Structure 1
Amino acid sequence: MLDVHRLIVLRSVVETGSIQSAASHLGYTPSAISQHVASLQRETGTVLVERHGRGIRPTEAGRLLAGHAREIQGKIADAETALADLRAGKAGRLTVRYFATAGAVLLPRVVGRFGRLFPDVRLELRLSKGLPDGTRDPADAEIMVLRDDRVPPGLRAIPLLDDPYLAVLPAGHPLAGAESVELGRLAREPWVDNEWPSSLCRDTIIEACGAAGFSPDFVVEGHDYATAVAFVAAGLGVTLVPRLALETVPSHGVVRLPVTRPTPTRSVFAVVKEAGHGHPALTAFLDLLREAIDDVHPSSSAGRNG
């Protein structure tokens, strides 16, 4: 493999026309320049420069390698510029995974402003498939619901939002006119399910009901918020829905009430790579995400920076 440094020395000799001039330009002694050229000739087994009068001139092989050295230096300069731009957040790609509610409510408020701040950064949005477990490359940021901030090594969980659940009741329900509802008062109601059985969000509902002294009697399986609220509007039961999710669900035929004693709440985090934490584009994205959260629900922000 050819030594890149020696190629650069050869290029200087060829373009300046002399050992002395190359030494002056590169800050070497003429002897060191001659040694580099001699070593490169031994590596290639080819004469690269030859004496011409009182000076030297490159051979055809010397001119060929000097041309490639010029291209190599250009590529190195391009790489250094690209790396500097990447560090400054001026270029590259930012991959963000998200859960459905965050995608529907928060990200549309972020992507346009982010694009204006970082026009050369390609923002890739992907639906999340759960916490990274080592079987796939983690995204630069994953917006997800977690129980706490414990994540696999190499990742950091940044709190974004404490999202309380609201009770969704049929408009004609006896409690519809209340300002809030204690969770225990819904113990004898038929319930409409709105989460997959294995989800943390469903666990939050079940555990809150358990703390209030009952297990919800699910008479309808909805497994998404819009369907569940439609069933509630039809009078089939009651349900709990995170406040953020209710931004995407029609409210016709239902009322929404704050829940107390206890107040079920899910915690939303941005999980980022430790190595990428502090990158300008990622930092700006998270700042815009917090602003979007404040725009939607000012009091729900987790209020902590990572």
Structure 2
Amino acid sequence: MYDPTRLAALVAVAEAGSITRAAERLGYTPPALSQQVAKLEREAGATLLVRSHRGTRLTDAGELLVVRARRVLDEMELARHELAGLTGLSGGTLRLGTFQTAGTHLLPPVLSAFRRAHPDVALAVADYEPPLGIAAVAAGEVDLALTHTYRPAAPVPVPSSVGVEPLLVEELVLVTAPGHLLADGTARLPLTELAGQPLISMAPHHPSRQGVEAALARAGATPAVLVETPVYALVCALVSAGLGVAVVPEMVAATAATPVSARLLEPGDLRRTISVAHRADVTVPAADAFRALLRGAFGRAGRHRLSGRPESQGRRDDIL
């Protein structure tokens, strides 16, 4: 049996006339789309596309399969609409809360996948700095909220009406300006090596960061600049300018818009967990479908790992 995703890829290439244009339409990278077509060719046991510098064209086998694929995909789309009406996934609005890092780097691909699967459901996204998203879910302001907790930190109280499902766990890492003395080396840096270092102190009075700030203070890091609100882009910009060092989540280091170097710390027990908060006492079909996509994207309590590239040049890693 042919994979419907691969059939859709072949149809998209046939309509667009090239792998690149079809990839843009589907939200793939060209290599990823080429892999889908190659797998379909292995399933079919025939060459389906002929590639050239002008683009791509279908072989006779490809033409035949595209005709059948369109019929299959049309029937599947009809079934999807009929089932959506039965399950409550036709119409209405899914209301989502997120914080800045997740909203920028984690949420968009999942939103795209949800929109492809359920185009009749409207989407609304609001910003909630953790742990405010949990309260928003409890109050019915949003259906789901991406939130985070840090370790070490005091536990965040969660109302009984709200469930919190971990999605991603990442270490906190040291970021410095490129060429900084502490950036030299690939081994984990003992936290004690931060003694006397000027620290860009990340929201020292913010509940989720207080435990981390206390650990850095015990290690002897000296606050040089206090950033009173959790804006990691600003922290990395100040670090890049040489105003101090900072300890931020791996994802932040890997996606920094300004050049920074990143290094793992020893011990690796400073961590951030990204979770999704949802109503535990109310069933919202669209919210349940979105949570399933989140699980598929990140895995339950998955781990994000530093890529090993010592310096970020403002390029985004593929972390999904």
TM, length-normalised to structure 2: 0.59
What's 2:91 paired with? 91
How far apart, CA to CA, are the structure 1 residues paired with 2:302 and 2:147?
19
What's 1:271 paired with? 277
Q: Work out whether residues 105 and 247 of structure 1, in 8 Å CA contact, stay in contact via their aligned partners in 2.
A: no
How far apart, CA to CA, are the structure 1 residues paired with 2:237 and 2:137?
39
What's 2:143 paired with? 140
CA apart distance, 1:196: 5.9
Alignment length, in residue pairs?
Answer: 214
CA 1:86–1:269: 2 relative to 1, 3 Å:
farther
How far apart, CA to CA, are the structure 2 residues paired with 1:280 and 1:134?
15
Q: Work out whether residues 250 and 304 of structure 2, in 8 Å CA contact, stay in contact via their aligned partners in 1.
A: no
CA apart distance, 1:134: 9.0
Larger Rg: 1
What's 1:190 paired with? 198
Q: Work out whether residues 89 and 121 of structure 1, in 8 Å CA contact, stay in contact via their aligned partners in 2.
A: yes
What's 1:245 paired with? 252
Q: Work out whether residues 91 and 120 of structure 1, in 8 Å CA contact, stay in contact via their aligned partners in 2.
A: yes
What's 1:283 paired with? 288
Q: Please say if 1:234 is aligned against 2:241.
A: yes
CA apart distance, 1:285: 1.3
Partner SS for 1:272 = strand
CA apart distance, 1:183: 1.4
Percent identical pairs in the alignment equals 27
What's 1:100 paired with? 100
How far apart, CA to CA, are the structure 2 residues paired with 1:231 and 1:89?
45
CA 1:251–1:290: 2 relative to 1, 3 Å:
farther
How far apart, CA to CA, are the structure 1 residues paired with 2:116 and 2:137?
33
Q: Deviations over 1:131-172 (max 9, x none)?
A: 317994342111111365751021111111112111001222
What's 1:38 paired with? none
Q: AA paired with 2:303? A: S
Where do 5+ consecutive residues of structure 1 fail to align?
Answer: 1-81, 302-306
TM, length-normalised to structure 1: 0.61
CA 1:138–1:298: 2 relative to 1, 3 Å:
same
Q: AA paired with 2:293? A: L
How far apart, CA to CA, are the structure 2 residues paired with 1:105 and 1:273?
24
For 1:51-200, list aligned pairs within 5 A: 85=85, 87-129=87-129, 130=132, 131-132=134-135, 136-146=139-149, 151-179=158-186, 180-195=188-203, 197-200=205-208
CA 1:282–1:183: 2 relative to 1, 3 Å:
same
CA apart distance, 1:281: 2.4
What's 2:264 paired with? 258
CA 1:134–1:285: 2 relative to 1, 3 Å:
closer
Which of 217, 220, 226 does residue 221 from structure 1 map onto? 226
- Greater RCO, CA 8 A, separation 6+: 1
Where do 5+ consecutive residues of structure 2 fail to align?
Answer: 1-81, 306-320
CA apart distance, 1:215: 4.9
How far apart, CA to CA, are the structure 2 residues paired with 1:134 and 1:229?
31
Q: Please say if 1:300 is aligned against 2:304.
A: yes
CA apart distance, 1:266: 1.5
CA 1:237–1:205: 2 relative to 1, 3 Å:
same
Q: Work out whether residues 168 and 256 of structure 1, in 8 Å CA contact, stay in contact via their aligned partners in 2.
A: yes
CA apart distance, 1:255: 0.9
How far apart, CA to CA, are the structure 2 residues paired with 1:217 and 1:244?
24
Q: Work out whether residues 106 and 293 of structure 1, in 8 Å CA contact, stay in contact via their aligned partners in 2.
A: no
RMSD: 3.1
